[in-house]
Structure 1
Amino acid sequence: MGAVGEWLDNCRGSRKLILVIVAIALLLDNMLLTTVVPIIPKYLYQIRHPPTSSPPSPSPEEASLLATSPPPITTSVAHSNADPGKSPPGTIFLRNSTGPEYPPLASSPSAPPRHLTGSEVLGMNHEDLVNENVEVGLLFCSKAFVQLITNPFIGPLTHRIGYSIPMFAGFVIMFISTLIFAFGTSYRVLFIARAVQGIGSSCSSVSGMGMLAERYPDDKERGNAMGIALGGLALGVLIGPPFGGVMFQFVGKSAPFLILAVLALGDGLLQLLVLQPAVVRQEEVAPTLGELCMDPYIIIAAGAITFANMGIGMLEPSLPLWMMDTMGAPEWQLGAAFIPASVSYLIGTNLFGPLGHLMGRWLASLFGLWIIAICLIFIPKATSINHLIAPNAGLGFAIGMVDSSMMPELGYLVDLRHSAVYGSVYSIGDVAFCLGFAIGPALSGTLVQTLGFEWMLYGIAIINFLYGPLMYCLKSPPAKNHGERQGLIYGEKSSVRYVTYKNEDEEEN
């Protein structure tokens, strides 16, 4: 028992294991976030437009009448090799299956075949699909709006009780939300499930990022750690849509959510074992949320996160419906369309965690915003799912550039201009992230109805182009009301804490 206890103590002090727990929490949260993307639009259409039942069997009287009725009339067309004196080629004759030909009708050219739209191929109504954009958008953005409301409370709460209890609360709430999704069968219940998830996401995101910023005070290491954690987020975004689409088409709606619930239970047990949720008060005076919101550099960094994610937020509810309407895409393609963005986001976050520190995080974000704009312009040009691969891949990679650069930048700014307490600044970062996924889906339905899918994406592309140059302000932000002595004190604190955690890692090895 002594050896087991010592091993558990080493695990609880390990920064690397804390990083794994945060990455898993973000992975499962974003799997749930994106699993619903290919499921909800089609499922809502199905429950509101149930398939028509087969026609009833004829009664005995009707059957006898059908049996005594004359054979059906068919048509035949005279061919070009008809004998002279007979009707010219193309003349249409009416005949039944047993009798002679009737007198010919006037020849009429056949109408050319009409190209069917995607909605007609699927047997769906175009107007219903367009109108459904609004309700699907509101359902998708409900999570982000609830998360926005919750974040300002979670940040200061972490100053009072620490990060572990809110982190565990996030797991519990996510587990409940997953079960509601699994068994919900109406729009109202699914809306509640999505909103409840927002509370759990706020607890997990703010606590997780704050925990990493505290455990990795060195700016370069912090960037690497947050890049790995965002890689977990990216992996969840990558797995979610195809996982949800395939499971929904071949197994059913409840199956993907029940699997996620089981995985969430495993994450909860790991948190109980390693984090041991308990109240931990922080001694250092924390900056207030108002002070951080008045800092222009923090607001510029947060704005980059918002506008970078607003485009993909608009695409989540509208792209599946647009694909169904224009391409006749089946369920599995609705999820598969997001795979290129998810894979490239995973690459971008892991690449620009360390690379952003080397080249300048402001420059990585500037290029990222401009690449996002270019990709959004090309998405409406697609006529098949293959045409979506390149612009979606570029979109995901560029969002990864911005997120993996600006998240550690927020920690750096609060170290430089305030004090090294991170709950509130990462509640602002999470608010910025959620704004993109709240405003985007909320506006997408109305914008698709009024401007169309194409001009909706052109509009957010222009905003990203115009916001990009503001990143230059983050090239060398000044310290705020901190003299050389105060900066030295913060530097000493960071280095002492860094040595402490480094020694713990060396003991593990």
Structure 2
Amino acid sequence: MWKSLLDLKDSKILVFVIVYLSFLLDNVLLTVVVPIIPDYLFSKDVENSVANRLSLSPIQRKFEQFEKNNGPLGALLASKAFVQLIFTPVVGYLTGKYNYNVPLLIGSCNMLIATILFAYGKSYGVLVLARALHGSSSAAIGVSGMCILANTLPKDYRLRFMPIAFGGIALGVLIGYPLGGVAYQFIGKSAPFLIIAFFIIINILLQVMRLEKSSNTNEEDGVDNVNWIELMKYHKTIIIAASICISTGAMAILEPCIPMWMIAHFDPPPSKWQLGAVFIPDSVGYLIGSNFIGLLSITSWRIALGAMTLIGLCCCAIPLAATISNLTLPHFGLGFGVGAVDAALVPLLANLVDMHKSTKYGPIYTLQQMSVSLAYCFGPLLGGQLVNILGFPWLIRIVGFTNIIFCPFLVYLETTKKKQPLSEEQTLPSYASLSTESCEDWE
């Protein structure tokens, strides 16, 4: 696979590296704040109020702050996804009208500003502004980055190497959690963000030098663009988008809730670096699931069904943990399941565009990004509020049940094909054997 990538022209390899690095840094910044912000907000509140609460025991203060901070923390983490949800259709429209380079460059510059705000911001309002600004950059990077890959890579390379770009997302998630926890404890709050800012500047310089020279004008090639109305006519589109949203929602709810739950539930409470290390199994699982699940000779909908079932079971197992080591297996299974869902279903979304003989992937990538944004918008926001009503154990169990209950809808991806028999050449291939030609025949 990698040998085939090296067969591409040097300019195309560099464009691939730029997009990969953009995805990587975007997700490092996304996850690096997770172990930092809960403890940072919690510590500030304790410092500001300890003088007035000397009559309370340390355990009572801990639980009081736990209950108080879940709502604001959920709103802070959700602000990024909320802004990303708003900006994603705008970026999708712009990439359909103009070239893909400008949104990527603007998104990278916005990400740099957001990183600096995270590094030096101290008030809650500044942190919300930084998170929201990061949301606008993620919208630009997510949509334009995938469009650049589709426009740059030859057709017979797309389905083989676009999943490698998702490896950048997975690696960013893998790096972000422990980087945030370790650097925050041993160096300080600003340190991890300054490290990220350094690499963002390198990426911006690469974009200025290389992407402006590449040919990315969106030629029509005699093919009409596939619009939103056409895409939403297909029930498969809605089912796939909903599956991505629901499975990602499990991870999105965990981010604001589990650090606070660990602080309140575990005795002794976890240290700062452990709040980040607890997400390492999720990241490793996602990396394996998103990159290697396609090697299985199993149809995509079956992979997604098994993955969402696994997500549901792991969500139910998480509240049973009494130590950090008890969280390792369910967290790994959760990350593996989310990665497997993405690896199995995202290529099927692209097939819907191939069916129309179109080269315009902007709308379908916009739909996929909006599904993820919905999960990361309403997951932390609702989770931060509902945990006070239902408690963390029942909240995460309900998320797990939702994944399991949705599984039967994935069978529709198979039953529709059976109702309209196809020839042997048109049979839906497994994810591992997908090719450009077979994508065009799938209905």
Work out whether the TM-score is over 0.5. yes
1:27 to 2:24 alignment? yes
- 1:21-420 to 2 correspondences below 5 Å: 21-50=18-47, 120=59, 124-216=61-153, 218=155, 221-276=157-212, 280-283=217-220, 284-327=223-266, 328-352=269-293, 354-355=294-295, 358-417=297-356, 419-420=358-359
Structure (1 or 2) with the greater helix fraction: 2
Q: CA deviation at 1:52?
A: 8.3
- Residue 195 and residue 477 in structure 1: after superposition, are their counterparts in 2 closer, same or farther (change >3 A)? farther
Residues matched between the structures, number:
409
Q: CA deviation at 1:227?
A: 2.0
- Secondary structure, in 3 states, of the residue corresponding to 1:359? coil
- Secondary structure, in 3 states, of the residue corresponding to 2:224? coil
Structure 1 vs Structure 2: percent identity of aligned residues?
Answer: 40
What is the rounded CA distance, in whole Å, between the counterparts of 1:303 and 1:439 in structure 2?
A: 14
Match of 2:408 among 454, 469, 473: 469
1:455 to 2:394 alignment? yes
Q: CA deviation at 1:17?
A: 3.2
- Secondary structure, in 3 states, of the residue corresponding to 1:287? coil
Per the normalisation by structure 1, the TM-score is: 0.75
What is the rounded CA distance, in whole Å, between the counterparts of 1:265 and 1:170 in structure 2?
A: 12
Spell out, residue by residue over 1:385-438, the C-alpha distance to the aligned partner (whole angstroms, 9 max, x if none).
000000000111111100112222111122115733101110000000111111
Structure 2 equivalent of residue 68 of structure 1? none
What is the rounded CA distance, in whole Å, between the counterparts of 2:216 and 2:153 in structure 1?
A: 21
Mean CA deviation greater in 388-397 or 406-415: 406-415
Q: CA deviation at 1:214?
A: 3.6
Letter of the structure 1 residue corresponding to residue 193 of structure 2: F
Conserved 8 A contact 1:11-1:274: no
Conserved 8 A contact 1:159-1:282: no
What is the rounded CA distance, in whole Å, between the counterparts of 1:151 and 1:250 in structure 2?
A: 37
Conserved 8 A contact 1:138-1:442: yes
- Secondary structure, in 3 states, of the residue corresponding to 2:322? coil
Letter of the structure 1 residue corresponding to residue 275 of structure 2: L
Q: CA RMSD in A?
A: 2.7
- Secondary structure, in 3 states, of the residue corresponding to 1:275? helix
Letter of the structure 2 residue corresponding to residue 132 of structure 1: N
In structure 2, list runs of 5 or more residues that go unmatched.
1-7, 52-56, 418-422, 427-435, 438-443
**Structure 1 segments of 4+ aligned residues over 6 angstroms from their partners:** 51-54
Which structure has the bigger radius of gyration? 1
In structure 1, list runs of 5 or more residues that go unmatched.
1-8, 55-116, 479-483, 488-493, 496-509
What is the rounded CA distance, in whole Å, between the counterparts of 1:10 and 1:367 in structure 2?
A: 39
Conserved 8 A contact 1:369-1:468: yes
Q: CA deviation at 1:292?
A: 2.0
Per the normalisation by structure 2, the TM-score is: 0.86
Conserved 8 A contact 1:131-1:445: no
- Residue 407 and residue 19 in structure 1: after superposition, are their counterparts in 2 closer, same or farther (change >3 A)? farther
